[in-house]
């Protein structure tokens, strides 16, 4: 009988320990603290609801406010099929959350006086001289182009106003596909040659369009510094911040922590993307080290980067950028004359700085994401998200691995929970 009672007690303890997934935070006494115990509970229930509904397999969220960790929790699975929990050590693909890291690397060279933002890109990269703009196709099949009104500037590649086209941009898309500039077998120089030989979608500085601009930033860092981009960003951004698990390549010993990728179909069915497809960019060393995508990270690693930005370029005793450089990066660089902005308005009342969206006004409807004026943020194709909120001295990182990009309203619901009692 005693043995049965002992066994029952052990099982009960194990069950309770499995349920306790979140760090326990003490009650907040400060009246100006945003993330109270009530908000923590709201965030928990919000993310858990997406797991319970089968919209995501798992995820994690981390918030630091006024220099203190005020929220962390993880939910569900990084590998649903093998029941591997999503946790703080889970490695994820951050896709376009690579971009702000690249912009930071580029701006270290700006601080050193190596270039000016309004200089022509061709001053350092003749691959981008004599660019043309696509005008269509003649009846005989000839591609019609015209000369650019002005050269692409370095500022253009930091704010997506270059005119670089993607494969989905009308008739020009076929030329982009044929150029195959972002093929991972290319070097950055080979990529730049191919992009520079392809007509632009529009005249530089006239529109905002997401594309390969940040990949060209990585190329420019490599060209100006004379150091391979992967080495430069490691030496000047990642290593000084202690971001040892933010990498292009994941070694064998860490792959058990690499999250699976999940795809949600239009009818709501969540299925795993085969690892050989989802992970192939990261388990082999490829020539192309993109600036616009390609890094993996852990939630604590990426938070170090976000904290550096909040603290005006400094994390702990390490300074990456000057305060005035961070201010420049987090300031809107899109003038009112740039009215064609593709899907950027879907991000809310925002402009665009150097590799971040910048919130210019409060939300005007409940359909918009909540946030503070002055915040800057970006996200990734697998529905990851981070933002820096200087008003509340807060940084937030949300990790999931869901394709296609947030079709379920996760970011809006998460932000609403974070700001629920404001």
Q: In sequence order, what DSSP letters do the residues of 30-77 get, joined into one string? A: -TT-SS-HHHHHHHHHHHHHHHHTTS-SEEEEEEEETTEEEEEEEEEE
Model confidence at 401, pLDDT cuts 50, 70, 90, reads very high
Residue 223's nearest CA partner among 144, 140, 122, 132 is: 122
Q: Is 268 left (phi over 0), alpha (psi -120 to 50) or beta?
A: left
- Work out the average pLDDT over 309-334: 98
Residue 3 has pLDDT above 60, yes or no: no
Give the ranges where 281-371 is alpha helix by DSSP (H): 299-310, 323-329
Residue 202 has pLDDT above 60, yes or no: yes
Lowest mean pLDDT segment, chosen from 15-19, 107-111, 245-249, 314-318: 15-19
Per-residue pLDDT at 30: 53
Write the DSSP assignment of 366-379 as a string of letters: TTSPP--TT-EEEE
Model confidence at 168, pLDDT cuts 50, 70, 90, reads confident
Per-residue pLDDT at 26: 53
- Give the burial string for 376-398 (b: 16+ CB within 10 Å, else e): bbbbbbbbbbbbbbbebbbbbbb
Domains and CATH numbers, the chain: 33-104+231-337+347-418 (3.40.710.10), 117-225 (no CATH)
Contact of 79 with 419, CB cutoff 8 Å: no
In the chain, pLDDT over 70 holds for what percent of residues? 92
Q: Give per-residue pLDDT as tens, 229-266.
A: 999 999 999 999 999 999 999 999 999 999 999 999 99
Model confidence at 379, pLDDT cuts 50, 70, 90, reads very high
- Work out the average pLDDT over 66-73: 98
Residue 78's nearest CA partner among 298, 243, 249, 282 is: 298
Give the ranges where 255-369 is alpha helix by DSSP (H): 275-278, 299-310, 323-329
């Amino acid at each position: 009988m005693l043995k049965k009672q002992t066994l029952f007690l052990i099982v009960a303890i194990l069950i309770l320990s499995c349920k306790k997934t979140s760090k326990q935070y003490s009650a907040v006494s400060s009246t100006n603290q945003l993330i109270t115990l009530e908000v923590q509970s709201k965030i928990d229930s919000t993310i858990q609801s997406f797991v319970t509904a089968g919209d995501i397999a798992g995820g994690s969220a981390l918030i630091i406010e006024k220099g203190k960790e005020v929220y962390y929790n993880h939910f569900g699975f990084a590998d649903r099929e093998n029941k591997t929990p999503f946790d703080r050590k889970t490695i994820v693909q951050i896709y376009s959350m690579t971009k702000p890291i690249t912009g930071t690397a580029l701006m270290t060279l700006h601080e050193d006086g190596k270039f000016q933002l309004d200089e022509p890109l061709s001053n350092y990269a003749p691959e981008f001289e004599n660019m043309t703009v696509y005008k269509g196709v003649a009846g005989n099949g000839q591609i019609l182009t015209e000369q650019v009104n002005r050269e692409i500037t370095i500022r253009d590649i930091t704010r997506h106003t270059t005119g670089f086209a993607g494969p989905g941009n009308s008739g020009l898309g076929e030329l982009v596909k044929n150029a195959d500039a972002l093929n991972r077998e290319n070097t950055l120089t080979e990529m730049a040659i191919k992009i520079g030989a392809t007509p632009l979608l529009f005249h530089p500085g006239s529109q905002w369009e997401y594309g390969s601009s940040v990949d060209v930033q990585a190329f420019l860092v490599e060209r100006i510094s004379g150091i391979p981009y992967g080495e430069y960003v490691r030496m000047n951004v990642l290593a000084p911040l202690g971001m040892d698990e933010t990498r292009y390549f994941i070694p064998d010993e860490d792959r058990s922590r690499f999250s699976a990728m999940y795809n949600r179909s239009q009818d709501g069915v969540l299925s795993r993307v085969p690892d050989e497809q989802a992970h192939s960019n990261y388990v082999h060393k490829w020539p192309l080290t993109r600036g616009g995508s390609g890094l993996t990270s852990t939630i604590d690693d990426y938070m170090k980067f976000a904290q550096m930005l909040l603290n005006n370029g400094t994390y702990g005793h390490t300074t990456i950028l000057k305060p005035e450089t961070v201010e420049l990066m987090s300031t809107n660089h899109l003038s009112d004359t740039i009215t064609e902005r593709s899907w950027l308005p879907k991000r809310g009342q925002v402009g665009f700085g150097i590799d971040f969206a910048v919130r210019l006004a409060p939300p005007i409807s409940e359909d918009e994401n909540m946030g503070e004026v002055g915040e800057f943020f970006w996200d990734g194709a697998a529905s990851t998200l981070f933002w820096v909120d200087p008003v509340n001295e807060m940084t937030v990182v949300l990790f999931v691995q869901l394709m296609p990009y947030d079709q379920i309203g996760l970011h809006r619901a998460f932000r609403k929970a974070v700001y629920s009692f404001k």
